[in-house]
Structure 1
Amino acid sequence: MEADDPVIAEYDVFITPEMEQQLYVLQYLNRRPNQPFVKSEGAVPSEVRVKEQSGFIEVDVALPMQSNFNRLAGVRWGEAMRKTKQLGQKAYGISSGFERAMPRAARPGAPADGPVQPPLDDDANFDEYVTNFEDANEKGHVLNTQTYGGQIVKEDGKGPTYMVGTFKKNQLHLTRLNGLVQLRTQFHHLDAVNQLEAAQRRREKESQEGAKVVEPKAFMPTVKKAGGDTAAEITQAFMKAANAEKWNKLMYHYEDVCSPSKLQHPALIHFADRRVLRCL
């Protein structure tokens, strides 16, 4: 009997030996496979950063500002991001451990150990930024990027083993991946707006109630159990470590090979020197 599914091609399969470099596939869940991040689509990543210990990765992609761009919202959210970064906010959401940097209150008797924070509710230049939009954008007053973020899901030996392959005539060369990253749209600008509102409420409360005088307090040293083995304690320690960890920026190299006909999820981190992002 003839086979219903005949063999139409045969390939010799080779598996690449273990390498020092780390390979991760980035999957953009909110973007169609036929819309890769390439120049022809008007969207190329402008910055990529990673927290290697906690495994968080974020990708900033430039927004098409020539059409369908809300300038009022862009200035409002851009100013919120700029002001919160002035307060010392380095990350947002889960990658920051959900921690918020708040302005230090000038309490009587307390030393001035930091710079004076700018007023958070100063929107005197808002209309000027909207009117002179191009100039404001160049000076960092406009939110002109969209951020995608996620956490590396590393191979743990229990699940499937993912590989990437390259065809060379009748040969298929496979390289094992170190993990996957499912990137979703991040709303850091909304976190920044909420953070400014919380900081403003805090300042209004302190102005009404008055700042408390710093007074010495007696304390009694106690010995506590080491603990740290419960789910809540492990999560709390992870969040604290994620907030303390600094971002490492990666270099993104644009390549024309990242086209819809060649890749369905056109993004691959190539840690040749642990600082390079390439689209292969």
Structure 2
Amino acid sequence: MAEDDAFEDDPVVAEVDVYLSKGLAEKLYLLQYPVRPSSMAYDDFEVTSARVKPKQQKFELEMSLDTRSPNYCHSKGEQIALNVDGMNKASGATYNSDVMDKQVLTSSHTASSVSRYCAGLLKDGELHLTPLQGIVQLRPSFKYLDKADVRVKQEKSADTEGESSQDEEEEAKPVMVKFARPETDQAKAKRLASWQYLEQKRSEEPWVDLNYHHIDDVASEVEYNQLYSQGNDFEVTEFGTSPKGYLAMLMPEEESSDIKMPQMPSNVLSMTQLKTMPLADQVRALLTSAKVLRFSQLLTLVSPVTDQTAVLRALQQVAVLVQGCWVVKSEVLYPKDSISANSGVSAEILSRGRDYIMWKFTQSRYVIRKEIAMVTRLPSEDIKEMLEQMSRMQVNQGWQFLIEYDSVFVSKFPEVVQRQQMLWDNKYQSLCKTLKLVNLKQRRKAKAENYHLMVCIVLDMTVSAVNIDFICGKERVKQAKVKAKAKLEQHPTTNADPAPVPMDTTPSSPPFDKKRLHKPVTVNNVTMNGPEIDTSNNEKLRTEVQNFVREKFLQQCILTISEMRRLLVSKLAACLPGHILASGVSDTLLEQCALEIGAKSLQLPWPTTLQVEDKRVFALGNHGDEYDKYREVMFDMYQYNFKYRRQQFTEKFQETLGTEPSSKSEFDKILKTCCVTRGAYWYLRGTMPST
């Protein structure tokens, strides 16, 4: 088909010259009325006032209502006017009459950009176009209802104040002076992006009053004529642009804007901006915002979809592998020379503590916040913020890692997993030096030696309390071999018949002595707690035990001997081989050290139905704080009864001290450090079995 034949069905009807008018180019707005049908225009309404906020392009039109119209409900109008202005109208009344005699139309934006829209007029074969400055929609405003609510509240408050006695003096109240903390960049960005701030900035712009002219006025016709080009708006030159150039002028390509976008809150990421970034910046922005991501989730978010190898290469620059998932690196969240917004701690210390938390998650699904705090020595608010980034709290279990173990990634990329494991091994060696931890090899060796030591000192509690040797299995075999060898040397075997040996009638154990029941079972210098050492000549051991006991009493206030032994075994498991505490600590030494640091042995009336393994209870009431006096009173109370109600403590405090804790939170803190509750009663710690 020829090119001329292709346009035979679509002939050119007319050619029209197009003119661009600039008379109202920066003043022309299109007003729309979406809730008003076109058959019921506002042309017949009298506009009493009009105003505009030019920067916001916000309009308000005040129109009078025809109160004499048969369609106007007079009773409803009176009720509205009464609710808004009240019985006695002031100078600033909303309505001039006794009825609702006007309404206000308020505008709202419809489009962010109107550069593609214009108003056109066809006259004498010429098309005159004027660009629009904005498009707004006008709807009825109901602010008069808010004014009615405010007036009702003011009247109620005035009535309440009138009922109060005017002669009463107001009680003097202390003035609390608070100093605001310096605002961080993150808090400032959130404040600037908040609705409250934006609304405040909008309200600060003043209104500009406008003169409204009816459509039939002469002034309206003068303004209307400015929509036509006057011929001197611009100089008409020959149109020499190519078709492609003309198309590019109509639809220009999007260019990257040099205007700096406002900073968004830390938990908000603009996907529109993300698409314009390079791949490395996309990965960094996503990990910084989400903190923890699966590799499959990351692939769905980066744009455009790229090779997995490139994503992995960029990912390992800003994140580390934990539980098969990717967690943003600490140095990315805490840049050099920055400080914590919560506590002011330096970035180096924060990164070191966060690395330790991530390493703990590589070893287990759960971590304990108290253990993290003891090792890292970071403020509690910083530790909580770090844990919330990568885990969630589980009751009675600790902090669980946020995402399930990603076995798919681990099986698909074993080389990356191995490389990350080597990275964590090196990271842990560095943490051992800075946080004074025990490295992996020493931990395993110490755990094995301590386990061997504990195996050797386990006693068979079913054996009667006589002086019987208790030794480990390997030592028994060794001693049996030595005895057999010595016996063979004393009685060498010959071909002749052996000489008769008289029967050994010596008892296998000494005679039973009741007094020995009250002494610790000692075999090969080993007691129930380990090897017994002459502590009178070992002041270093005694000092170490005193420090250990003091530390535990400051944490728990009340301890039994069995609880001290359990804590001692736990401490030995974390100590290096050859630690002085591993040389042996007896019950007697624990009791002596507890008394030496100021703890007292409590003589308690135990419940008759309660079976407790060890009834030796020690309590330390002197902690150096304002609660010491309350603890001493409580310890004295428990020497007469084993359970009390909360009210009984209050009465005893008032009777003995003449005062009581100032708040419920302080009262609870004192009780919970010394007691446990069962129903309505409080029992001393150590006197009730754990449930």
1:241 aligns with 2:179: no
Cα gap change, 1:138 to 1:9, in 2 (>3 Å): same
Question: In 2, distance between residues paired with 1:150 and 1:36?
Answer: 16
1:171 aligns with 2:130: no
1:161 aligns with 2:112: no
Question: In 2, distance between residues paired with 1:216 and 1:245?
Answer: 39
Residue number among 148, 161, 174 corresponding to 1:193 in the alignment: 148
How do residues 1-280 of structure 1 correspond to structure 2 at under 5 angstroms? 7-17=12-22, 21-38=26-43, 42-67=44-69, 68-81=71-84, 83=85, 123=87, 139-153=96-110, 155-156=112-113, 161-206=116-161, 217-222=175-180, 223-225=182-184, 227-230=187-190, 233-256=193-216
The amino acid across from 1:14 in the alignment is Y
The amino acid across from 2:212 in the alignment is Y
Cα gap change, 1:176 to 1:75, in 2 (>3 Å): same
**How far does the alpha carbon of each residue in 1:72-98 deviate from its partner, in whole angstroms, 9 at most, with x for none?**
3223323444x4xxxxxxxxxxxxxxx
Q: Contact conserved, 1:155 with 1:161, CA < 8 A, in 2? A: no
Question: In 2, distance between residues paired with 1:162 and 1:19?
Answer: 14
The amino acid across from 2:199 in the alignment is M
Shift of 1:50: 1.6
- Secondary structure of 1:64's aligned partner: coil
**What fraction of aligned residue pairs are identical, expressed as a percent?**
24
Question: In 2, distance between residues paired with 1:213 and 1:77?
Answer: 41
Q: Structure 1: which 5+ residue stretches go unaligned?
A: 84-121, 126-136, 258-267, 271-280
Question: In 1, distance between residues paired with 2:22 and 2:195?
Answer: 35
Question: In 2, distance between residues paired with 1:70 and 1:237?
Answer: 41
- Secondary structure of 1:253's aligned partner: coil
Q: Contact conserved, 1:16 with 1:173, CA < 8 A, in 2? A: yes
Question: In 2, distance between residues paired with 1:45 and 1:17?
Answer: 28
Q: Contact conserved, 1:54 with 1:241, CA < 8 A, in 2? A: no
Question: In 2, distance between residues paired with 1:214 and 1:80?
Answer: 38
**How far does the alpha carbon of each residue in 1:188-225 deviate from its partner, in whole angstroms, 9 at most, with x for none?**
23222222233334445555678977867242333223
Name the structure 2 match of 1:133: none
Shift of 1:148: 1.4
Query: Comparing both chains, which one has the higher relative contact order based on Cα–Cα distances under 8 Å and sequence gaps of 6 or more?
Result: 1
- Secondary structure of 1:252's aligned partner: coil
Name the structure 2 match of 1:91: none
Question: In 1, distance between residues paired with 2:213 and 2:158?
Answer: 45
Q: State the TM-score, normalized to the length of structure 2.
A: 0.26
Question: In 1, distance between residues paired with 2:172 and 2:127?
Answer: 70
- Secondary structure of 2:45's aligned partner: coil
Shift of 1:228: 3.8
Q: Structure 2: which 5+ residue stretches go unaligned?
A: 218-223, 227-691
Question: In 2, distance between residues paired with 1:58 and 1:214?
Answer: 48
Question: In 1, distance between residues paired with 2:87 and 2:16?
Answer: 64
Question: In 2, distance between residues paired with 1:214 and 1:171?
Answer: 81
Question: In 2, distance between residues paired with 1:154 and 1:245?
Answer: 21
Cα gap change, 1:241 to 1:197, in 2 (>3 Å): same
The amino acid across from 1:162 in the alignment is Y
Q: Which has the higher helix share?
A: 2
Question: In 2, distance between residues paired with 1:138 and 1:193?
Answer: 12
Shift of 1:251: 0.6
Shift of 1:19: 6.2
Question: In 2, distance between residues paired with 1:164 and 1:231?
Answer: 40
Q: State the TM-score, normalized to the length of structure 1.
A: 0.58
Cα gap change, 1:78 to 1:7, in 2 (>3 Å): farther
The amino acid across from 1:62 in the alignment is S
Higher mean Cα deviation, 223-232 or 169-178?
223-232
Shift of 1:231: 7.6
The amino acid across from 1:123 in the alignment is M
- Secondary structure of 1:32's aligned partner: coil
Cα gap change, 1:4 to 1:142, in 2 (>3 Å): farther
The amino acid across from 2:73 in the alignment is N
Give the number of aligned pairs: 204
